Amino acid sequence: MTPPISLACLLAGYQGSKNCKDIISSLADDILLLILSLLDLKEAARTSALSRRWRYLWSYLPGYYDFDVSATCWWKFRKIWDEQYLLNVRKFADYVNQVVSSSRAPRVHTFRVRIPLDSSYRADIHRWVNFAMGKSVKELELNLSFYYGVCCGGPLLLDSFSCYAQYPTGHTLVSLSLASLCINDSFVHSLLLNFPNLERLSMRDLHCQGGNVKVVGGLLKLRYLEMSFKTDLVTLEISARNLISIVFVGHDEDVKFSNVPLLQEASFEGTYPLRVIHNPRNISGFSSQLTKLNLNLPSMHKIIGNPIKLPHFGNLKLLELLFFDGLDKNLLIFTNFIDACPMLQKFKLRVTPCLSLSSCITDLQCYCICTMYV
């Protein structure tokens, strides 16, 4: 039986004899790049130490540049605010800079960075954006969220993307995801104007300077929209005729929908769902065309305390409600939701346990107490 050959042996051209011949290195560049594409970026970069032939080969990889700090060993044992933690974050950013400066790829499909960085890393972050935009990137994600950790500085103010309008990326970018950044109120308008092929836009936990955001355009190809703002948002206007799905996390903002004829799926979180329940005018313009609706409700008390005035959901097939409360309330209140949905096929009711239940349910953050097929 032939013994298994390790990857290291293969790279050395090992054929089971002492007279080793480097067979793989003699293959065409396209084939070698195909082999390297099966590895993650860090492993691919390590092949540069094999020989002169391999030294720069990895830098021509056109695929996925994925930098996720949670995948590192030190991240699992981190101590926030610890000096070593801050040093490791700096090293991780330097690693991204090194890869970016070494890359010789003519284009990049996906560029993703997930690490908690504050405004002190402004130069680094803009260097990464410049790199991605210059490589005709299709999917760009900058997630500086506190979900991945905590930084001591304020959020980074991201410059307008209008300077990239003449880049090839102006026509290639189809997906953009931003998290834990600061933007001004003209950022979104400029973004949609200069990137007409954008189909997916996710903006989470953002700080907004100016307070008025418009997602408006008669020629927009935007199909998926996710928006949540930590501070300062006052008004949000949405008019996108190709929009199919929206996720909005809000509170007291004035949200106006117009010209969304294809909108089929909606998810509302924060305290904004209460406005949907008690004031049907907020979504009455498109409620009859929705097929899926998700409402994350803060408390049963706030639902019961005011009269429920739901709009008509004539085509709704799936309704999912999540609320943060105990189980001591009369769940018959939710019959109002079912009555408003004559075509409903599936109804889900999920509960996040209150403190009194935490001792009984220790491993579940959320559990379903009701799934009903109508």
pLDDT of residue 82 exceeding 90 = no
Q: Among 282-291, 302-311, 359-368, which is the least confidently predicted range?
A: 359-368
Phi-psi group of 38: left, alpha or beta (phi > 0 → left; psi -120 to 50 → alpha; rest → beta): alpha
- Confidence band for 87, pLDDT divided at 50, 70 and 90: confident
Percentage of residues in the chain having pLDDT higher than 90: 26
Number of domains the chain contains: 3
pLDDT in tens, 31-78: 666 666 666 666 766 666 666 666 555 555 667 788 888 766 666 666
pLDDT at residue 1, as a whole number: 45
Rg of the chain over CA atoms, in angstroms? 25
Output 364 or 81, whichever has higher pLDDT: 81
- pLDDT tens per residue across span 194-236: 898 999 999 998 888 888 899 998 889 999 999 998 877 889 9
Give the residue from 231, 263, 295 where a domain finishes: 263
Contact (Cβ atoms closer than 8 angstroms) between residue 164 and residue 194: yes
Same domain, 85 and 225: yes
Is 125 found in the same domain as 114? yes
What confidence category does residue 251 fall into, taking pLDDT thresholds of 50, 70 and 90? confident
- Identify whether residues 154 and 251 lie together within a single domain: yes
**Residues 238, 114: one domain?**
yes
**In whole angstroms, what is the distance from residue 100 CA to residue 123 CA?**
13
Report the candidate in 172, 283, 174 with the shortest Cα–Cα distance to residue 224: 174
Show the CA angle centred on residue 31, arms to residues 25 and 37, nearest 5°.
105
Lookup: tokens for 125: 């972050």
If asked whether residues 11 and 120 sit together in one domain, one would say no
Cα–Cα distance measured from residue 347 to residue 42, given in angstroms and rounded to the nearest whole number:
45
Residue 369: per-residue pLDDT: 54
Position 79 scores a pLDDT of: 65
Domain co-membership, 251 together with 356: no
What average pLDDT does this structure show over 333-348? 87
Dump pLDDT digits (tens) for 101-137.
877 777 888 899 988 888 889 999 999 999 899 888 9
Domain termination site, one of 217, 244, 263 = 263
Q: Are residues 124 and 269 in the same domain?
A: no
**For position 75, what pLDDT does the model report?**
67
Specify whether 331 is located in the same domain as 364.
yes
SS3 of residue 43 by DSSP? helix
User: What's the pLDDT band for 245 if we cut at 50, 70, 90?
Assistant: very high
- Does 225 share its domain with 271? no
**Residue 40 and residue 67 in contact, taking contact as beta carbons nearer than 8 Å:** no
End-of-domain residue from the set 61, 87, 113? 61
What's the pLDDT at 355?
44
pLDDT band at 320 (very low <50, low <70, confident <90, very high): very high
Looking at the fold, whether 50 and 125 belong to one and the same domain comes out as no
Q: Which domain holds residue 108?
A: 62-263
Check whether 18 has a pLDDT greater than 80: no
Does 254 share its domain with 151?
A: yes
Token pair for residue 315?
Answer: 């085509």
**Do 178 and 69 lie in a common domain?**
yes
Check: CB of residue 287 under 8 Å from CB of residue 313: yes
At residue 271, the pLDDT reads 86
